Amino acid sequence: MTVLDDIVVGVREDMEARRHLVGLDELKARAADTAPALDAWAALGGPSASRADLKVIAEIKRRSPSKGDLASIADPAELARQYADGGASVISVLTEERRFNGSLADLDTVRAAVGIPLLRKDFTVEEYQIWEARAHGADLILLIVAALSDAQLQEFSALSHELGMNVLVETHTPEEIERAAAAQARIIGVNVRNLKTLDVDRSLFASLAGSIPPGAVVVAESGVRNADDVAHYASNGAHAILVGEALVSDATPRERISEFKAAGAAAMAVRT
């Protein structure tokens, strides 16, 4: 069993526990009463004319399977406000419980604190989770190609769009990019971390980004340690970066986001 397989088993078990407390009908009613989703596609530079600068998806992340505990994050609302003040375009909130110590309560707290789009970062394997994301104020969800069939990619994307949300479709191989394109994904991430082994290969991004269809927003995921890594991704086709560990482990996340955006903008200017 791969690391990804093991995570998904836990995700399903925890979801079933939540489903016993909140049924799908109740979730749908809550989603209907939630304010309309914000436009994460536009925030990430969806229209190509607005892709002159690198966008940052800043992540609230307490721990990871590869590194263990990263930060306690006693006040996710305050961290989210620092991210927004630093210029983040989207805030990602980990809600997976077992491996990342996240929760839907974190998503609720951050939603009440900031007015920019939120990504519910989790391992989506059932439609229940999509309704759950919307009911808790998410504007964007993650679909990991390696964890889903083609039919699920299509169905989950369609439901997300029906609910007004956008979808970040995560890939790691050329074949997965083809599958994302076939699902008409508009926001495609290249995760340089192999979720089956947790190994990181930053060079992977440059080899894959060029095969992403024109018009899609390209997101570089994982492996950001410093401004040099940001510049590397930006110079090889990234329109946005998703970064968590480098921010939650930094005493000045607001300033770090500004630094990352400046490094990305400089690299993109050279690229164009």
**CATH code assigned at 238:** 3.20.20.70
Three-state DSSP state, 239: coil
Catalytic residue numbers read 59, 61, 121, 170, 191, 221-222
Domain extent, residue 15, equals 3-271
pLDDT of residue 220: 97
Report residue 109: phi and psi, to 5°: -65, -45
Categorize the per-residue pLDDT at 145 as very low, low, confident or very high, splitting at 50, 70 and 90.
very high
Buried b vs exposed e over 257-271: b needs ≥16 C-beta within 10 Å?
Answer: bebbbbbbebbbeee
Report residue 130: phi and psi, to 5°: -70, -45
pLDDT in tens, 187-245: 999 999 998 898 999 999 999 999 999 899 999 999 999 999 999 999 999 999 999 99
pLDDT in tens, 49-58: 456 799 999 9
Number of domains in the chain: 1
Single out the residue of 269, 263, 251, 254 nearest to residue 88, CA to CA. 254
Q: Which residues contact 262 (CB under 8 A, 6 or more apart)?
A: 227
Beta bridge partners of 93: 60, 120
Q: Is the pLDDT of residue 95 over 70?
A: yes
Place of tokens 């630094």: 259
Q: Is the pLDDT of residue 271 over 80?
A: no
pLDDT in tens, 247-269: 999 899 999 999 999 999 999 88
Rounded to 5 degrees, what angle do the CA atoms 230, 234, 237 make?
Answer: 145
Distance CA 10, CA 17 (A): 11
